[in-house]
Structure 1
Amino acid sequence: MNIYFQKSFQRGFGTYPLKGDELRRAIEAAIDVGYRAFDTAQMYGNEADTGEALAECGVPRSELCITTKVHPDNYTDETFLPSVETSLRALKTDCVDVLLLHWPPAHGEIAPSLRMLRSALERGLTRSVGVSNYTAAMMREARSIVDVPLVTNQVEFHPLLNQEKLLAAAAETGIPITSYASIARGEIFKHGLFSEIGETYGKSAAQVALRWIIQKGVPLNTMSTKPANIRANFEIMDFTLSSIDMQRIDALTATGYRIIKPGQLPWVPEWD
């Protein structure tokens, strides 16, 4: 089974942009409510803080799913594997559960970094591999380049953005999508529909948006520093949105709200 589709890992805790004591307290709260999947990255600058918090959290390493991502600046033969080894030391683990390429390379040629990713898997530095921020075309190309399973393409996915092309590519390639920016960094709260629907189920606007993602078959990551919100973001498995409510939310994807836009970072591709 794909690690992200194991019941205990469908809801991951994202660590960006937290650091230091703020991150430690957030991870403690997340562990307390039941999170067992944690997402970090070289780019976040918080792998060591994440590793320290998880080492002290009281949960056996075998029960955790730790994901980190390789910075595009490290997509070279000289720096890729050493950077992963540095990440492992920071995270206080011999092997991460999931290692992702954080972005496509700036020049657009994805094959070299995918082969380096496979090398990390072969050397036992990670249990599984995947990508992040790939377009549908890149997903298809990646499937033809590497013959090991890619367990995810982690992308911006929320109810204010139509990602049907990526969902179709996931079905075609067998590379599932997982979600970041799952509540569009708060943008969903500008749309009253989520609160309206939430009243029917006794749930908050955020819980409705997150449940919509889960019912799309997409595991998700959320981040908060507030214990009440951390708990609420986790407690989304005890209700089911009706097909009519799913369709009402589907209509909001036409909003086309995207957080990460081409040109915002050197590696951002032209989105589908």
Structure 2
Amino acid sequence: MSIYFQNGFERVFGTYPLKGEELAHAVAAAVGVGYRAFDTAQMYGNEADLGTALARLKLPREELCIATKVHPDNFPKERFIASVRQSLEDLRLDYADILFLHWPPVGGDIRPSLELLEEAHRLGLARNIAVSNYTVAMMREAKKLVAAPIASNQVEFHPLLDQSKLLAGAAETGISLSAYCSVARGKVFDYPLFKELGEAYGRLPGQIVLRWILQMGVAVNTMSTKPANIHANFGVMDFTLSSIDMARITELTKTNYRIVTQDLVKWAPAWD
């Protein structure tokens, strides 16, 4: 089972692309409704802002689950650990709860960055290690290369993209999935099914989407600056979609609408 689900952190507040006071206000609103898991990355350029925002709120450290990600530019051995230490300094933390590799390396040799990720774990800089945007083949190889458990593979996951191969890979390897682009950057709302189901369950369309993801066994990562949306995104644990409605939503994955393409991101692998 996912570390997110094991520890009650299956609803993660994402921070991209927020910075400064906008981020601080959003984080305060998120904490107010109950969020305790927060996601950032070196690539986002907001680790220090998140650290400042959380320090203002003076939450007990043991209540928090803070995840950050190592930028591929910092995968070389001479930069990796130093970059993680800088991230922790910016976040005002002694350790990250989950430390991700943000992308597979260009060229496809995942061993060096995985070994450095495991070194960060051995040094106590991260309680858990994870990867992002790995294919099934990469998940299998990572499982063989790394002795420490790999907590998650964070990937694009929403009802308009067929990720059945990755879900099968997660079941095979024990590396669970966590989602980004959970509502396909708003594209899901072009589909009447979510409004229909929202009316049937007395929920907002976005809550139906997030509930589907959770029932697929995938942690959700959402971001908003609007208090009402932050509250709605968090409030998805007190209802359950029927198996029939889950299947109706899953049928939409045949759309295969992918946001993060190889044209958009140079580190993107050949997707499954």
Give the TM-score range, shorter chain. Answer: over 0.9
Q: Give the Cα–Cα distance (whole angstroms) in 1 for the partners of residues 217 and 265 of structure 2.
A: 29
Cα shift at 1:141: 0.8
Q: What letter corresponds to residue 160 of structure 1 in structure 2? A: L
Structure 2 partner of 1:87: 87
Structure 2 CA distance for aligned equivalents of residues 102 and 119 of structure 1: 16
Contact 1:8/1:36 (8 A) holds in 2: no
2:222 and 2:205 map into 1 onto residues whose CA distance is 14
CA distance in 2, matches of 1:271, 1:249: 22
Aligned with 2:130: secondary structure?
Answer: strand
Deviation at residue 7 of structure 1 after TM alignment: 5.0
Rounded to whole Å, the distance in 2 between the matches of 1:2 and 1:239 is: 20
Measure how far apart 1:59 and its partner are: 1.6
- The within-5 A match list for 1:170-185 is 170-185=170-185
- Distance 1:136-1:231 versus aligned 2 partners, 3 A rule: same
> Tell me, what secondary structure is at the counterpart of 1:152?
strand
Q: CA contact under 8 A between 1:161 and 1:255: conserved in structure 2? A: yes
Q: How far off is 1:3 after superposition?
A: 2.8
SS class of match (2:131): strand
Query: What residue ranges of structure 1 are gaps of 5+ in the alignment?
Result: none
| Kept in 2: contact 1:194–1:206 (CA 8 A) | yes
155-164 or 2-11, which deviates more: 2-11
Shift of 1:58: 3.0
Q: What is the distance in 2 between the residues matched to 1:69 and 1:80?
A: 11
3-state SS of 1:56 partner: helix
Task: Note closer, same or farther for the CA distance 1:97–1:265 as it changes in structure 2 (3 Å cut).
Answer: same
Q: Give every structure 1 segment of 4 or more consecutive aligned residues whose post-TM-superposition deviation is greater than 3 Å.
A: none
Which residue number corresponds to residue 161 of structure 1?
A: 161
Cα deviation for residue 8 of structure 1 reads 2.8
Query: Residue type of the partner of 1:162?
Result: D
The alignment status of 1:232 with 2:232, answered yes or no, reads: yes
User: 2-side partners of 1:237 and 1:144: how far apart?
Assistant: 35
Percent of aligned positions with the same letter in both sequences? Answer: 62
- Under a length normalisation based on structure 1, what TM-score does the superposition of the two structures give? 0.98
Specify the alignment match of 1:190 in structure 2.
190
**Structure 1 CA distance for aligned equivalents of residues 103 and 87 of structure 2:** 17
Pairing of 1:21-40 with structure 2 (within 5 A): 21-40=21-40
> 1:21-45, CA deviations, whole angstroms, 9 ceiling, x for partnerless residues?
1100000000000000000000000
Q: Which residue of 2 aligns with 1:129?
A: 129
Q: Tell me, yes or no, if the aligned pair for 1:177 and 1:218 is still in contact at 8 Å.
A: yes
Q: Structure 2: any 5+ residue segments left out of the alignment? A: none
Q: Secondary structure at the match of 2:182?
A: coil
The answer for the alignment partner of 1:72 in structure 2 is 72
Is the CA contact (8 Å cut-off) linking 1:70 and 1:102 kept in structure 2?
A: yes
CA contact (8 A) 2:2 2:177 kept: no
- Give the Å deviation of 1:61: 1.1
The question of 1:270 aligning with 2:264 is answered: no
